[in-house]
Amino acid sequence: MDRFPNPLQVELQPDRKTWRLLAPFSYLDPGHGLVTVPAGFISDFASVPRLPLTYALLGAYGHAAAVLHDWLYSTTTLSRAEADRVFLNALRSSGIARWRAWLMYAGVRIGGSPRYTTT
Protein backbone atom coordinates (compact mmCIF):
# COMPACT_ATOMS: atom_id res chain seq x y z
CA MET A 1 0.00 0.00 0.00
CA ASP A 2 1.14 3.54 -0.78
CA ARG A 3 2.10 5.41 2.39
CA PHE A 4 0.55 8.57 0.86
CA PRO A 5 -2.93 7.42 -0.26
CA ASN A 6 -3.92 10.79 -1.77
CA PRO A 7 -1.89 13.54 -3.41
CA LEU A 8 -0.91 16.77 -1.70
CA GLN A 9 -3.16 19.48 -3.15
CA VAL A 10 -2.33 23.02 -2.02
CA GLU A 11 -2.72 26.61 -3.09
CA LEU A 12 -0.35 29.46 -2.35
CA GLN A 13 -1.87 32.08 -0.06
CA PRO A 14 -1.80 35.85 -0.69
CA ASP A 15 1.07 36.27 1.81
CA ARG A 16 3.17 34.16 -0.61
CA LYS A 17 4.64 32.28 2.37
CA THR A 18 1.94 29.81 3.32
CA TRP A 19 -0.08 27.14 1.56
CA ARG A 20 -3.67 25.99 2.17
CA LEU A 21 -4.70 22.36 1.68
CA LEU A 22 -7.44 22.03 -0.93
CA ALA A 23 -8.24 18.43 0.05
CA PRO A 24 -7.50 16.16 3.00
CA PHE A 25 -3.99 14.77 2.96
CA SER A 26 -2.98 11.49 4.62
CA TYR A 27 0.10 9.47 5.47
CA LEU A 28 0.24 5.91 6.75
CA ASP A 29 2.95 5.89 9.39
CA PRO A 30 4.36 2.51 10.42
CA GLY A 31 4.21 3.39 14.13
CA HIS A 32 1.14 5.62 14.41
CA GLY A 33 -1.20 4.52 11.65
CA LEU A 34 -3.08 6.88 9.38
CA VAL A 35 -2.40 10.58 9.99
CA THR A 36 -4.87 12.84 8.14
CA VAL A 37 -4.55 16.58 7.72
CA PRO A 38 -7.91 18.22 6.93
CA ALA A 39 -8.62 20.44 3.94
CA GLY A 40 -8.19 24.10 4.81
CA PHE A 41 -5.12 23.59 7.01
CA ILE A 42 -2.42 26.23 6.45
CA SER A 43 1.25 25.21 6.30
CA ASP A 44 4.49 27.02 5.57
CA PHE A 45 6.08 23.73 4.45
CA ALA A 46 9.57 23.29 5.89
CA SER A 47 10.68 26.23 8.02
CA VAL A 48 14.26 26.21 6.81
CA PRO A 49 16.48 29.16 7.72
CA ARG A 50 17.09 31.36 4.68
CA LEU A 51 20.85 30.91 4.89
CA PRO A 52 22.17 30.26 1.37
CA LEU A 53 23.70 26.81 1.81
CA THR A 54 21.11 25.57 4.30
CA TYR A 55 18.18 26.61 2.15
CA ALA A 56 19.78 25.22 -1.00
CA LEU A 57 20.27 21.82 0.64
CA LEU A 58 16.96 21.54 2.46
CA GLY A 59 14.47 24.24 1.46
CA ALA A 60 12.76 22.72 -1.56
CA TYR A 61 12.35 19.21 -0.19
CA GLY A 62 9.83 17.30 1.87
CA HIS A 63 6.68 19.39 1.42
CA ALA A 64 4.37 16.44 2.12
CA ALA A 65 6.26 15.50 5.29
CA ALA A 66 6.38 19.15 6.36
CA VAL A 67 2.58 19.51 6.10
CA LEU A 68 2.15 16.45 8.32
CA HIS A 69 4.70 17.78 10.77
CA ASP A 70 3.05 21.22 10.92
CA TRP A 71 -0.32 19.54 11.58
CA LEU A 72 1.07 17.32 14.33
CA TYR A 73 2.80 20.27 15.98
CA SER A 74 -0.35 22.40 15.84
CA THR A 75 -2.65 19.70 17.22
CA THR A 76 -0.24 18.03 19.69
CA THR A 77 -2.00 14.70 19.08
CA LEU A 78 1.45 13.12 19.40
CA SER A 79 4.35 14.11 21.59
CA ARG A 80 6.94 16.34 19.98
CA ALA A 81 9.40 13.44 19.70
CA GLU A 82 6.75 11.23 18.07
CA ALA A 83 5.75 14.02 15.64
CA ASP A 84 9.40 14.45 14.69
CA ARG A 85 9.72 10.69 14.10
CA VAL A 86 6.64 10.73 11.84
CA PHE A 87 8.32 13.59 9.95
CA LEU A 88 11.46 11.49 9.44
CA ASN A 89 9.43 8.45 8.36
CA ALA A 90 7.40 10.56 5.92
CA LEU A 91 10.54 12.13 4.46
CA ARG A 92 12.02 8.70 3.79
CA SER A 93 8.69 7.36 2.46
CA SER A 94 8.51 10.23 -0.02
CA GLY A 95 11.94 9.39 -1.44
CA ILE A 96 14.05 12.06 0.27
CA ALA A 97 17.69 10.96 0.46
CA ARG A 98 18.65 9.49 3.82
CA TRP A 99 21.31 12.14 4.54
CA ARG A 100 18.91 14.98 3.71
CA ALA A 101 16.10 13.41 5.77
CA TRP A 102 18.40 13.08 8.78
CA LEU A 103 19.55 16.71 8.45
CA MET A 104 15.93 17.87 8.35
CA TYR A 105 15.06 15.61 11.28
CA ALA A 106 18.02 16.98 13.26
CA GLY A 107 16.80 20.49 12.49
CA VAL A 108 13.35 19.89 13.97
CA ARG A 109 14.80 18.11 16.99
CA ILE A 110 17.20 20.99 17.66
CA GLY A 111 15.05 23.97 16.72
CA GLY A 112 11.43 22.81 16.72
CA SER A 113 10.59 23.26 20.37
CA PRO A 114 9.25 26.85 20.11
CA ARG A 115 6.83 25.81 17.36
CA TYR A 116 5.32 22.87 19.22
CA THR A 117 1.98 24.22 20.45
CA THR A 118 0.94 23.06 23.88
CA THR A 119 -2.37 24.17 25.31
Biggest alpha carbon distance in the chain? Answer: 38
Distance separating alpha carbons of residues 67 and 29, to the nearest angstrom? 14
Kindly report, residue by residue over 30-84, the tens digit of the pLDDT. 999 999 999 999 998 876 555 555 544 545 568 899 999 999 999 999 999 999 9
The Cβ-side half-sphere exposure at 12, using a 13 Å CA radius, reads 4
Q: Torsion angle of alpha carbons 35, 4, 106, 15, nearest 10°?
A: -80
Q: Torsion angle of alpha carbons 38, 44, 46, 47, nearest 10°?
A: -140
Residue type, 87: F
Kindly report, residue by residue over 72-98, the tens digit of the pLDDT. 999 999 999 999 999 999 999 989 999
Whole-prediction pTM: 0.85
